[in-house]
Amino acid sequence: MKKTILAMILSVLMVGSIFAQQKVLTKDERMAWWREARFGMFIHWGVYSLPAGTWDGRQIGGIGEWIMNRAKIPVADYQNMAKQFNPVKYDPDAWVKMAKDAGMKYIVITSKHHDGFALFETKASKWNVVDATVYGKDLLKPLAEACKKYGIKLGFYYSQAQDWNNPGGAASRKITKEGWANPDSVTIDAYTKEHKGHWDPRQEKRTFDQYIDEVAVPQVRELLTNYGDLAVLWWDTPTNMTVEAAKKLQSLLALQPAIITNDRLKRPDFPGDHKTPEQRIPNLADLDSTDWETCMTMNGTWGYKSYDHNYKSPETLIRNLLDIASKGGNFLLNVGPTSEGEFPPESVDILSKIGQWMKVNGEAVYGTTSSPWGLFSWGRCTNKATPKGTSLYFSVFEWPADGKLVIPGVKNSVVSAKLLATGAKVKATLAKDGNLTITLPSAAPDPLASVIRVDVKGKVANQPVQPAK
Ligand code: H79
């Protein structure tokens, strides 16, 4: 009896001291920087950047980081290839600086993708950059240091369930033959169906539960312990996940009290902090109050493919960012570095063009909330509370031929209106019917997107009528 009371007192004291050390943060407190940031960089890097989309002389279809699965590469062959991984040109300082100069506020990098290869030093598996490649050094440590130096938040992507090299890891069961390297695909199809997506007996030398306990849990613990403050843990593809496994991984997040996680740990019971539309921007009608982040590639692949030059234009990407911000979401834009450790030249160019635009117009993105008007046919709107009222940012994609932009339903008196690109004032007249008419110069000052900032008094209420598209 005495012992029990003593134990109770002790545990109360211990819990008390934990709380005294770290205040438990509310979701709004954890999400504050993320909601302000709006724009981040995704980095997909791993040994798949070495084959870069080609295996056995054949170009493998689909996204580059899936090459092992798509080409059904045996574990031994893939790991043998990986020995050559030697990113001698890796310059994490330059990477982080490019993200920062592009106006991005956070970076999420693949610490381990579906091929199971860890870009970090780990005791849980030899299948990592230190033990399995000639390079032999942790890739995440210097990146964490560079992020700290430049004030960029760092997040880790971790494929918790799919792992095609560490035995017991899951493999997507989805069968698509398009782009398969092996012409004998009928046999592979039958085999993978029978073996729950696996194509090599070495993948089945452990159970999924053993894989979770022996690889995923210890590695996530390492990631949450060894790299300083971590801003985001980005789970992916919950193939085969159980509630039990998800709970084990989820509980580790207590190691980083301010961390933000996505909705991909296990569906539907682990919603995380935000949704993750992939390669698409949601329609306004499909959104609720849940935070969300669109992740998207610049070309057609996440992991580097030497022959994918199908890049989106800076114009498209800037307009995507504005579309997303006008709907209240974040944009996580991907770069797939080469096996030598360099960003592809097209990505470097796109980032610098976005950066030039953001330098002038970034205030239309950071810390803004969604448009009170929904979408306009000619562009997008974001807005931000100021000490005295509201700044409305109208980003014009289709410059009006008659030089007039009409915004309906305005109830606030206008303080000032100007073009961010030139700093020139523009005339903004509010009529009795609530139509705000902005008179513009004949040509768009910025072909990518011209932003007009209109400062008004008071708060701007959401408009009942959503004008267009
Ligand atoms: O990391 C990136 C992708 O590799 C990962 N999520 C983003 C952020 C991802 N995993 N699965 N998926 C996306 C969707 C699954 C697509 C599939 Fe397929 C269709 C798997 C098999 C058929 C695409 C096409 C991959 C291989 C063929």
- Full DSSP string of 350-396: HHHHHHHHHHHHGGGTTT-B--TT--BTTEEEEEEE-SSEEEEEEEE
Top-level CATH class of 379-457?
mainly beta
Produce one character per residue of 158-175: b if its CB has 16 or more CB atoms within 10 Å, e if not. bbbbbbbbbbbbbbbeee
- What local confidence, expressed as pLDDT, does residue 177 receive? 58
Q: Which residue out of 63, 178, 263 has the highest number of ligand 1 atoms within 8 Å of its CB and is therefore the one to mutate?
A: 63
423 Cα to the center of ligand 1, angstroms = 44
Domain boundaries, the chain: 26-364, 379-457
**For residues 365 and 321, is the Cβ–Cβ distance under 8 A?**
yes
Same fold, 26-364 and 379-457: no
Mutate to test the pocket of ligand 1, among 109, 237, 241, 305 (most ligand atoms within 8 A of CB): 237
> Per-residue pLDDT averaged across 361-382, rounded?
97
- Residue 339: pLDDT above 80? yes
Q: How many Å apart are CA 334 and CA 298, to the nearest integer?
A: 6
Q: How far is the CA of 235 from the centre of ligand 1 (A)?
A: 13
Q: What is the pLDDT of residues 155-193, one digit of tens each?
A: 999 999 999 999 999 998 766 655 555 656 677 888 898
Pocket-forming residues, ligand 1, beta carbon under 6 Å: 44, 62-63, 65-66, 70, 172, 174, 176, 236-237, 278, 295, 302
Give me the pLDDT at residue 341, please. Answer: 98
Comparing CA positions, the residue from 106, 61, 67, 4 lying closest to residue 339 is 67
What CATH architecture is 26-364? Alpha-Beta Barrel (3.20)
When pLDDT is averaged across residues 123-147 and rounded to a whole number, the result is 98
**Over the stretch 431-449, which tens digit does the pLDDT of each residue have?**
999 999 999 999 999 999 9
* Structure confidence at residue 173 (pLDDT): 73
Per the model's pLDDT, the better-predicted residue between 427 and 173 turns out to be: 427
Residues, the chain, total? 469
Give percent of the chain with pLDDT exceeding 90: 88
Mind listing the pLDDT tens digit for each residue in 209-266? 999 999 999 999 999 999 999 999 999 999 999 999 999 999 999 999 999 999 999 9
- pLDDT at position 188: 81
The string of pLDDT tens digits covering residues 10-63 is 555 555 455 555 679 999 999 999 999 999 999 999 999 999 999 999 999 999
- Ligand 1 atom with the shortest distance to the CA of 61: 27
Q: From ligand 1's centre to the CA of 152, what distance in Å? A: 27
